[in-house]
Chains A and B, each alone.
Chain A
Amino acid sequence: MLELIDITKKYKQTKAVKNMNMYIEKGEIVGLLGPNGAGKSTAISILSSLLEPTSGDVKFRNKSMIKNPKSLRQIIGIVPQEIALYEDLSAEENMKFFGRIYRLKGEKLKNKISEVLEQIGLADRRKDVVKTFSGGMKRRLNIGVAMLHDPEILIMDEPTVGIDPQSRNYILQTVKRLNKERQMTVLYTSHYMEEVEYLCDRIYIMDKGNLIASGTKDEIKQILASENTIYLKADYWNESFITKLQEKPQIHQMKVEGNEIVLVVSKDVAIFSKLAHLAEETSVQLRAVDVKQVTLEDVFLHLTGRALRD
């Protein structure tokens, strides 16, 4: 339905996106996962025809959209990372404004506004000025205005940044419901792997402008099928313990986060006794050793050597 073909975007000397290939099929929720600065926003700006790539092509229903994106623009709704609303207008006035620019008017516009406000749970606050809304409510309205013209594809750029867990859940459920009930295709970018994991059928992982993995959740996790993720906990770590861990060839990846160390190790290696021995040798008091199911975060760590939120 919509594809990026060998897309590169260069800003002076920096390549924000490098030879990226990606496709979205109708009715899918596709996740674009990556840390801040990975190139996700640039990629979706190109995909939604807001930005011209330095090279490569964007195809919608097998037609290039680089020079004439009109047909693509008609069927996409965009939810920017920022709150793209007029703060001095009410929820309803914002909706009227964005509806009007899509040439909606009269009863049709009125009905559509009521329907969308109902969907995003703001029907009872429709007359309130946006600047009086909480962060979560603004985010919901930010999504709502993108849905007024019934887009086939909803492109969401980190729509849950900076909001409370309840609002985040509400948004995730709304996206899921839209996809299920209206077969809306969704491209969802985030650096929260749990969101992408919960929502998306297929996932693309980006880092430093490169697409480093893609596939379904299970396919991506298969990258680590032969490995285990082990979480070590202690009151404190000392230099010698960490240095010696780094020297062990069985440990493929390692990350220290406060009093926790995350290790990615081969499944067939008996590592526990070695860890216990090393802790004793370096006078580190281990509090817990835990082997967990592979997550996308682990895959990202494995592929880049960094955590998603670094």
Chain B
Amino acid sequence: MRGILLAKFTTFIRNPWVFLLFTVMSIGFTLIIGYTGGNGEKITVPVAGAEEVRTGSIGKALEGNEVYHFKWQEEADMKEIVRLGEAEAGIIMEEAGYEMFIRVETPNVQLIEQTIADIYTEKIRESQVLELFQGETAAEEKAFLTAYHEAMDQPLFEITNDNFRNADSYQFDQGLHAIFGFTLFFVIYTIGYNVLPILTEKKEGIWDRMILSPLKKWEIYLANLVYSFFEGYLQIIIIFSVFHYFVGVDFYGELAGILLIMLAYTFTIVSLGIFVTALVKNIQQFNAVLPIISVSMAMIGGAFWPLEVVQSDILLALSKINPLTYGMEALNNLVLYNLPFEEILMPVSILILMGVIFMGVGIHLMEKRHI
């Protein structure tokens, strides 16, 4: 077994190009899709208003908004921008209220309106609190407001309404999703092309030589599986390390957990590779089938877009038999939702079960068909 591994590693060192290609592609696509091109930027909303509104509490509240970039414009310019469709909506801000100009009714416009309404609600609340305080000087009122804001930042108790698991809403981090999705997608190719040599070695007679030697058959399979697993897992480690140490993604401190989950995913994909290799008759068929399987898995399993946006019952049903779905689910449960251990163990267990089934059926078929 050591001999096989040594030969495989030497071959890998001499010819690492496929591995490097898929690693670079995975990193490249993630950077392009996840970390550039406006997805991480705020949505710009044109607003107009008098100077005292801009510099007052309303202006400060708009400036501090984390989702939207409210850009001050002259009223005429704001209306022109909305008319030309360069923005979905524009707003005239006044001390007493606001007026919205809407180009098209979208969910985003509703959210903008909600944001503005919240600002005015807060302003009204402040005024009511000040009325109750009945301060005598402006300095007193200012000190009171500061104390009020501090108290609001540290409430006695907090009511949180997390509803990301219901059907209408979910948490989404474009950057993390791209890292998870593309890593899980491209590693299918890396592992697939590492399992493929089993087929070529069988065809060319290298396996016959090994079978006639004192090597046990399980040693031959195990060496091949260990090697494929190693290369797939190495790619995953490299990709996550690049994003963690060079791009600065902190994975909410869960890098070790991610790599543990990836052990199960890598095992399942190696097993899937064995299963596919057992089904096809030759290398040409494998080369044709692998992209179909990997792209379908990525699309159905939520690698390219969150599974929560998929409406089709058929696609959702198909996603249940897709290892990539469970890989993404386990990663999201850990990193994005910070769910308890049992919620991560479930998809990981399904992955391992799938791996065992794929491996068992795959090796059985290979042996039966003498390929």
Contacts and interface: CB of A to CB of B under 8 A. Distances in A.
Interface of A: 45, 48-51, 73-74, 76, 78, 80-86, 88-89, 93, 96-98, 100-103, 129, 145-146, 149
Interface stretch (B5-13, B44-52, B58-66, B86-94): B5-13
B3 interface: yes
A101 B10 contact: no
A80 B208 CA distance: 8
B214 A88 contact: no
A102 B204 CA distance: 19
B149 interface: no
A85 B212 contact: no
Nearest to B15: A88
A93 B206 contact: no
B212 A48 contact: yes
A138 B371 CA distance: 23
Contacts, number: 69
B205 interface: yes
A98 B205 contact: no
B3 A97 contact: yes
B211 interface: yes
A78 B3 contact: no
B213 interface: yes
B210 A85 contact: no
B7 A80 contact: no
Interface of B: 2-4, 6-7, 10-11, 14-15, 201, 203-206, 208-215, 370
A85 B205 CA distance: 9
B7 A93 contact: yes
B205 A86 contact: no
A129 B210 CA distance: 21
Nearest to A157: B205
Contact of B212 (A78, A82, A93, A103): A78
A83 B203 CA distance: 10
A89 B10 contact: yes
B369 to A, nearest CB: 11
Given A50-B211, A88-B11, 19 more contacts: A45-B208, A48-B208, A49-B212, A73-B213, A74-B214, A78-B205, A80-B204, A80-B209, A83-B204, A84-B201, A84-B205, A84-B206, A84-B208, A86-B206, A88-B10, A100-B2, A100-B3, A101-B214, A102-B213
Contacts of B14: 88-89, 129
A97 B211 CA distance: 14
A50 B204 contact: no
- Name the residue in A89, A97, A101, A102 with the highest tally of chain B Cβ atoms < 10 Å from its Cβ: A101
Nearest to B370: A51
Contact of B203 (A82, A89, A96, A145): A82
B10 A82 contact: no
Given A51-B370, A97-B3, A101-B3, A84 B10 contact: no
Contacts of B211: 50
B210 A101 contact: yes
